[in-house]
A and B are shown apart, each in its own frame.
Chain A
């Protein structure tokens, strides 16, 4: 095959690979101004190339449009979410699900270092979904629980084999305690001690590095 033919084949393959990516996002439509639309499409393509879930980014666009945000603000939000998901994708590894990546990104947004999320993932094994634990961690940190106390609480709950229902209760209790005036760290530490029966020894909280 001569050089021209090889170039043509490579060009065709590249076009075939790129065309569906744009075609998959008809929901963007004309709801954004042209520069914002171009920027969003570029961010979605970049996310796809990195193996980052695209649907949360698309939903961020939808949320921004529904809430009346202007194009540049939506682009900034999508860019931030893309960066945060890329960070956690690297920290959690390829075993993380799209939901876990999205939930972990919200924890990173709240101020939790991605490396701590990676440790929790490593500790929990492959079968335990961390979507809810990461979501709750983001919530309690946003309510004022210090990052270290929040991470230790979630780590101890996951390590003790707490079910999602237990972690839901933990979130409700902590937020209720804080609303009643409890110091956030004390609320998280105290409520995390109410571990389910049969807790393993590995459930003991560790100091953050």
Chain B
């Protein structure tokens, strides 16, 4: 997948960037200590301010630690993400195959919540394999309603899926629950 492909190259770039020595100007330490002392005086606390004042500034160690954190998080994400799944705008998306056996059909499309019930260009057009029509599409995790549109005019529910009980418009439709496989 383009989004996750070349993950190691990306990771190496991040690690290299984080390992570069960080250069501060001469006044950096003085400014930090002024700020720390001011906070210490303001809060009169022995909490995190007291601890922070004892930390010695070592950019190399900090960079290495940050690189480790990034590496663990990034590798963890790459490994936990199953093949075929993706994440679009923060919403997990899973590939779903829709299949309808309709030997006499001239065209079959899939229309549902996941494409805003869009007809025409928005519909998922199925491919015919000797009367077995199928299309695989990325569908966001969650619950959806959908139906097959046969020959551009006949609505058909998916015989292999649970029924959508609320067929308010007199046409059958089906229910689809897409699990987030990354959870």
- Chain A contact residues, CB within 8 Å of chain B: 27, 56, 59-60, 62-69, 73-74, 76-77, 80-81, 98-99, 102-103, 105-107, 109-110, 131-132, 135-136, 138-139, 141-143, 164, 171-172
A102 to B113 CA separation, bound complex (whole angstroms): 13
Query: Could you tell me if A69 and B116 are in contact, using CB atoms closer than 8 angstroms?
Result: no
Query: Could you tell me if A132 and B169 are in contact, using CB atoms closer than 8 angstroms?
Result: no
Given contacts A106-B175, A164-B179, are A63 and B163 in contact (CB under 8 A)? Answer: no
Contacts between chains A and B (CB distance < 8 A), count: 84
Q: Could you pull out 13 A-B pairs where Cβ atoms are within 8 angstroms?
A: A27-B116, A62-B118, A63-B113, A73-B168, A73-B169, A131-B177, A135-B177, A138-B175, A139-B165, A142-B163, A164-B177, A164-B179, A172-B160
Kindly provide the distance from the CB of B83 to the nearest chain A CB, expressed in whole angstroms: 18
Query: Could you tell me if A77 and B164 are in contact, using CB atoms closer than 8 angstroms?
Result: no
- Chain B contact residues, CB within 8 Å of chain A: 111, 113, 116-119, 142-143, 145, 155, 160, 162-166, 168-171, 173, 175, 177, 179
Query: Could you tell me if B143 and A63 are in contact, using CB atoms closer than 8 angstroms?
Result: no
Kindly provide the distance from the CB of B90 to the nearest chain A CB, expressed in whole angstroms: 15
Query: Could you tell me if B177 and A80 are in contact, using CB atoms closer than 8 angstroms?
Result: no
A109 to B173 CA separation, bound complex (whole angstroms): 14
A103 to B165 CA separation, bound complex (whole angstroms): 10
Query: Could you tell me if A139 and B155 are in contact, using CB atoms closer than 8 angstroms?
Result: no
Kindly provide the distance from the CB of A29 to the nearest chain B CB, expressed in whole angstroms: 12
Could you list 16 further interchain pairs (A-B, Cβ under 8 angstroms) beyond the known A69-B169, A164-B177, A172-B160? A27-B116, A59-B113, A59-B117, A63-B113, A63-B117, A65-B117, A67-B171, A77-B166, A77-B168, A77-B169, A103-B143, A106-B164, A106-B175, A109-B166, A132-B179, A139-B175
Query: Could you tell me if B145 and A63 are in contact, using CB atoms closer than 8 angstroms?
Result: yes
A27 to B116 CA separation, bound complex (whole angstroms): 9
A59 to B142 CA separation, bound complex (whole angstroms): 13
Residue in B closest to A66 when the chains form the complex, CB atoms: B117
Q: Which residues of A contact B169 (CB under 8 A)?
A: 63-64, 67-69, 73-74, 77
A121 to B117 CA separation, bound complex (whole angstroms): 31
Query: Could you tell me if B117 and A62 are in contact, using CB atoms closer than 8 angstroms?
Result: yes
Contact of A106 among B117, B118, B166 (CB under 8 A): B166
